[in-house]
Chain A
Amino acid sequence: MSKTRPADYPRAAAATLRDTPEVRDAVTAATRTFDTHRRESWAQIDADRWRDWCRDVKEHVLTHLDDFLEQAETSLVANGVTVHWAERAEDALGILEHIVDAGRVRRVVKAKSMLTEELGVNAFLEGRGVHVRETDLGEYIIQLLGEPPSHIVGPAIHRSVDDCRRLFHDHFGTPLDATPEALAATARQALREEFLAADMGISGCNFLVAETGTLALIENEGNIRLSTSAPRVHVAFVGIEKLLPGMADLSGFLQITARAATGQPIGNYVSLIRGPRGSAESDGPEEVHVVLVDNGRTTLLADDVAREALRCVRCGACLNICPVYRQTGGHPYGFTYSGPIGAILAPALLGLEEAMPLPFASSLCGACADVCPVRIPIPDILLHWRERAVEAGLTPFVERMGVRAFGAAAGRPSTFSLAGGLLRYVPWALGGRALPVLGGWSAERTPPELSREPFHKHWKEGIE
């Protein structure tokens, strides 16, 4: 199966809806549940003030990002952590390869991390003969299926319990009517062996506190804690936008992130990692490496409009409420981050041309901006990328000519009226066959009927 790219979105989305309609049902049900929990959870706090505060803290960090990064590095080094800087994905992978080789690492357990998906860590390690095991239950399921995550928080939400029953039946011989609890217990058993045998644990990071050099990781299953404490080496990949100034800031962000993502007041497990095992400590890794990754983030930082996307805490709230995302889940987007946040990150992280047409894959309904815990103005950033795409000549030729002609006509009322009058002769009744661009539209909808006469004529005759 060739990898889906953003350019495939129109075809891939159509294929998903046509060939696997159950994906739409599963994604819609799961995201509506997430969103309901988010709404209930926000009703318990003064959410609007929390969101203002979180936005302001993140803005402060981004405005002084260079200072905070240096402070974080100093704190981490003081804690005994080895700090690495990676400008691009290949740099990050090169650093990882070096750590793997130096530590003679053969087996890796992974905590759920979107950044490692973005960097392509699993394929890279497997290509070098290293055994890699995802340990988040959802990630484990999609790893067994050979699929990428379809949601930032719930990587397997496009799959039903029945899909998992069949998968586990094939892999472990569990009964086809096994309960979800029995399936989870089977996975836990298999994963315990992986934790104990692993040489290295790889994680992402929700927040990095600059003042103390603390890595904060939020989860519900305990697998992140095991991945980061059982193996002798821990490598954390951290996007450079993940910084927070101090521990007091962290307490607020731990809560708003969990509430936005799943409606929980806080994650079941929050791991605060300061560094490797101390001399008086009985467990923990011998080595901790932090890889600070740019990979396009400074492109965002340099963009006056799109930079606000760097406030993102990866809660997935915008995916959960997005009516476009709900139709297909994340796979057709062809990018690690799907839905509204993916559509505004892609042009910076992939380049605008490669990201097309994702900034256009939105009806601009604005629901995402209503729920973002750090108030990213997603629709405005979508419009910004669309404007850049037009400037760069990346929109279809026919569309470009059409809009220009329409715009010119709209500046001259007589021409505009004439153009509108011609609409009367466009044979909508032919199912839009005369207008190829409308073919798809009218294939699934009955075209509207034109009014008997345009309103401006009616007005001239007088309105009773």
Chain B
Amino acid sequence: MRVALFATCLGDRLFADACADAVRLLRKLGCEVDFPEGQTCCGQPAFNAGYVEEARRMARHTMEVFAGAEHVVLPSGSCAGMLRRYYPELFQGAARARAEDLAERTWELSQFIVRVLGVRELGAGLRGRHIAYHHGCHALRELGVRDEPVGLLRSAGADVVPWDADEECCGFGGLFSVKFPPVSTGMADRKLDSLPGVDVVTSADGGCLMQMSGRARRRGMTTPFRHLASVLLEATA
């Protein structure tokens, strides 16, 4: 199967290793991976801040870049949610049909592995590891992705530890965390205060990881935070 990777802004600059791990993982699972040149930003930061015209421009560009792809896979539930849930709402007529077509072919990484590839077990590489999984809000509520990442981690032997706040927002929210830093910090603290003792915290979204790990470091916590793509690659060992 041929997939086009959409690295996303944060993926390209801050989680480049996780993007490379996503490529390795998809190849291991038998996929041929493309990286369409010219990809930029999905438009979500602008869209969520109310700049719909700018978001539409970025969406149009993204639709052109990925026009020929069989499947588009993102190491981000949030950006995948933008393409699947909101692109069609930005357009009318023929453009809307193209947006809907792209939406149907767009997947968050773990969602793609389970729902499209039909793979539910990756290996045994996480045996004995205690892992906390943070459900990013948009993966969870816009894409309905809940069991896919947790199931893949468990199948590889991980103990996915119960976490009281695992489905609560980390407080990132893009510009939200810049506009209201103390509120955003309070939300991150709720995540960290309820975090059980684990070997690693993982999530499908770089934004959430950046928020939680940034706050954890500032508080002197040493728990590692790693992107789901890297942890899933480890699972295949």
Are B51's CB and A407's CB within 8 A?
yes
Are B16's CB and A454's CB within 8 A?
yes
The segment from B7-15, B66-74, B145-153 that touches chain A is B7-15
Given A326-B190, A420-B9, A463-B24, is A444 in contact with B215 using a C-beta cutoff of 8 Å?
yes
Are B184's CB and A363's CB within 8 A?
yes
* Residues of A close to B24: CB separation below 8 A: 463-464
A361–B169 alpha-carbon span in the complex (Å)? 13
The segment from A154-162, A232-240, A408-416 that touches chain B is A408-416
The answer to the question of A87 belonging to the interface, with a C-beta cut-off of 8 Å to chain B, is no
A244–B96 alpha-carbon span in the complex (Å)? 38
Are A361's CB and B180's CB within 8 A?
yes
* Residues of A close to B177: CB separation below 8 A: 363, 441
Closest chain-B Cβ to A368's Cβ sits at a distance in Å of: 10
Given A323-B168, A326-B190, A454-B16, is A364 in contact with B48 using a C-beta cutoff of 8 Å?
yes
Are B138's CB and A445's CB within 8 A?
no
The bracket for how many chain A residues form the interface is: 35 or more
B172-222: which residues lie under 8 A (CB-CB) from chain A? 172-173, 175-188, 190, 210-211, 213-215, 217-218
Are B51's CB and A362's CB within 8 A?
no
The segment from B39-47, B100-108, B109-117, B123-131 that touches chain A is B39-47
* Residues of A close to B54: CB separation below 8 A: 403-404, 406-407
A455–B13 alpha-carbon span in the complex (Å)? 7
Count contacts on B: residues with CB < 8 A to the other chain.
Answer: 67
Contact among B35, B137, B182 with A367 in the assembled complex (CB-CB below 8 Å): B137
Closest chain-B Cβ to A371's Cβ sits at a distance in Å of: 11
Are A446's CB and B217's CB within 8 A?
yes
A410–B9 alpha-carbon span in the complex (Å)? 10
Closest chain-B Cβ to A90's Cβ sits at a distance in Å of: 32
* Residues of B close to A445: CB separation below 8 A: 185, 188, 211, 214-215, 217-218
Given A450-B14, A456-B7, is A406 in contact with B183 using a C-beta cutoff of 8 Å?
no
Closest chain-B Cβ to A155's Cβ sits at a distance in Å of: 22
* Residues of A close to B13: CB separation below 8 A: 420, 423, 450-451, 454-455
A448–B20 alpha-carbon span in the complex (Å)? 18
Q: Output the nearest chain A residue to B181 by Cβ-Cβ distance.
A: A440
* Residues of A close to B184: CB separation below 8 A: 363, 441
Given A357-B179, A403-B45, A448-B214, is A383 in contact with B16 using a C-beta cutoff of 8 Å?
no
Given A459-B35, A463-B24, is A416 in contact with B52 using a C-beta cutoff of 8 Å?
no
Contact among A9, A408, A413 with B39 in the assembled complex (CB-CB below 8 Å): A413
Are A363's CB and B218's CB within 8 A?
no
Contact among A399, A449, A463 with B49 in the assembled complex (CB-CB below 8 Å): A399
The answer to the question of B120 belonging to the interface, with a C-beta cut-off of 8 Å to chain A, is no
Closest chain-B Cβ to A22's Cβ sits at a distance in Å of: 13
* Residues of A close to B179: CB separation below 8 A: 10, 357, 360
The answer to the question of B58 belonging to the interface, with a C-beta cut-off of 8 Å to chain A, is yes
Contact among A386, A407, A449, A453 with B57 in the assembled complex (CB-CB below 8 Å): A407
A389–B48 alpha-carbon span in the complex (Å)? 12
Are B186's CB and A327's CB within 8 A?
yes
A364-409: which residues lie under 8 A (CB-CB) from chain B? 364-367, 369-370, 383, 385-390, 395, 399-400, 403-404, 406-409
Are B137's CB and A453's CB within 8 A?
no
The answer to the question of B141 belonging to the interface, with a C-beta cut-off of 8 Å to chain A, is yes
A56-104: which residues lie under 8 A (CB-CB) from chain B? none
The answer to the question of B235 belonging to the interface, with a C-beta cut-off of 8 Å to chain A, is no
The answer to the question of A430 belonging to the interface, with a C-beta cut-off of 8 Å to chain B, is no
A9–B23 alpha-carbon span in the complex (Å)? 44
Q: Output the nearest chain B residue to A456 by Cβ-Cβ distance.
A: B12
The answer to the question of B171 belonging to the interface, with a C-beta cut-off of 8 Å to chain A, is yes
The answer to the question of A203 belonging to the interface, with a C-beta cut-off of 8 Å to chain B, is no
Contact among A17, A416, A458 with B20 in the assembled complex (CB-CB below 8 Å): A458
Given A403-B45, A404-B54, is A410 in contact with B16 using a C-beta cutoff of 8 Å?
no
Are A455's CB and B7's CB within 8 A?
yes
The answer to the question of A438 belonging to the interface, with a C-beta cut-off of 8 Å to chain B, is yes
* Residues of A close to B58: CB separation below 8 A: 407, 410-411
**Can you name 19 A-B pairs with beta carbons within 8 Å?**
A10-B180, A17-B183, A363-B184, A363-B187, A364-B48, A364-B176, A365-B173, A386-B50, A389-B50, A406-B54, A423-B13, A441-B177, A446-B215, A446-B217, A448-B210, A455-B15, A456-B7, A456-B12, A456-B35
Since A446-B217, A455-B12 are in contact, a sample of 12 more A-B pairs with Cβ atoms closer than 8 Å, ordered by chain A residue number, is: A10-B180, A18-B182, A327-B186, A363-B172, A367-B167, A383-B47, A389-B50, A404-B54, A406-B54, A410-B41, A416-B41, A445-B215
Interface set of A (CB-CB < 8 Å, partner B): 9-10, 13-14, 17-18, 24, 28, 323-324, 326-328, 357, 360-367, 369-370, 383, 385-390, 395, 399-400, 403-404, 406-411, 413, 416, 420, 423, 437-438, 440-456, 458-459, 463-464
Closest 3 A/B residue pairs (Cβ): A363-B173, A386-B50, A407-B54
